[in-house]
Amino acid sequence: MPDILTVRNLKKHFPKVQAVNGVSFEVAEGSCFGLLGPNGAGKSTTVEMLEGILKPSSGEILFRGEPIGPRYRERVGIQFQTTALQDFLTVKENLRFFHSLYEQGPSIEELVETCHLGEFMDRDSRKLSGGQRQRLLLAIALVNDPDLLFLDEPTTGLDPQARRNFWELVQSIKARGKTIVLTTHYMEEAYLLCDEIAIMDHGHIIARGTPNRLLAEHFNDSVLEIPSAELNGQASALGFTVRREAAELMTADVNDSVRKLLDAGVSLTHLKIRPRTLEDLFIRLTGREMRS
């Protein structure tokens, strides 16, 4: 697939802070590209430059090979993490308002069908649930029929069912040929939706690739999880690390590790064996320290 977005040596300085320091990557047309990073990594600043909200200190952003400008703004849709809706207006009235700002785009009926808004079109936007509000904001981001869609932590605060419903919407939109740039703190979300991810920290991209390729590059083991109480005080001797009420063991030889547990008289009733995840990778690359 050709690249729809090209970022070259992007930098952003603020007084006393180098927020982004030489970021480069490409986004293939029709793909979902995930930008991940802990708080303070430079992720939000990078996205705001890609969206055209912030001007870079240096570097360039190309849209289909050309510097971004008025044409770019017409072809981009943005679902911000927080967006103010018009008070006292229904979902239908909010859609009509934002739809009227553009000369072209899908009909309101198409947006309603795409984002599954039909059941609450006459509801005051202040009375929407979190998932309903995010679906409305997604519809608003699509009113100009963008080629490139930015989703800024779109499922933060949603319950698991609403989050998964939103994931299905994103997958259906991508299936229509839209390109998506996604920021998220949910590693399961990134793994499910993204064709490629870039992990940022301290203003740099520290890893980039498909989720499976990155996991294969950094891990060759699996994780054994078991309630620490079932180890009968043998956690350390068996190589497990205790985290609250659970214990973990990273092992490249699952059969041998299970055999040792059996030899030690440990019950395997509640043993869980899982592959490494993006969350494991994220923590390995960015550390466990708290970020402000």
CATH assignment at residue 261: 3.30.70.980
Going through the chain in order, the beta strands assigned E by DSSP cover: 3-14, 17-28, 32-36, 58-63, 66-67, 76-79, 148-152, 179-183, 196-201, 204-209, 222-227, 241-243, 246-251, 272-275
Say if residue 263 is in the same domain as residue 168: no
| Predicted confidence band of residue 288 (pLDDT cuts 50, 70, 90) | low
Please give the pLDDT value at position 80: 87
Total domain count for the chain? 2
Of 124-128, 137-141, 188-192, 217-221, the range with the lowest mean pLDDT is: 124-128
Asked whether residue 146 carries a pLDDT value surpassing 60, the answer given is yes
> Which residue range(s) make up the domain with 224?
220-275
Say if residue 228 is in the same domain as residue 209: no
Say if residue 204 is in the same domain as residue 126: yes
Asked whether residue 73 carries a pLDDT value surpassing 90, the answer given is no
Q: Give this prediction's pTM.
A: 0.91
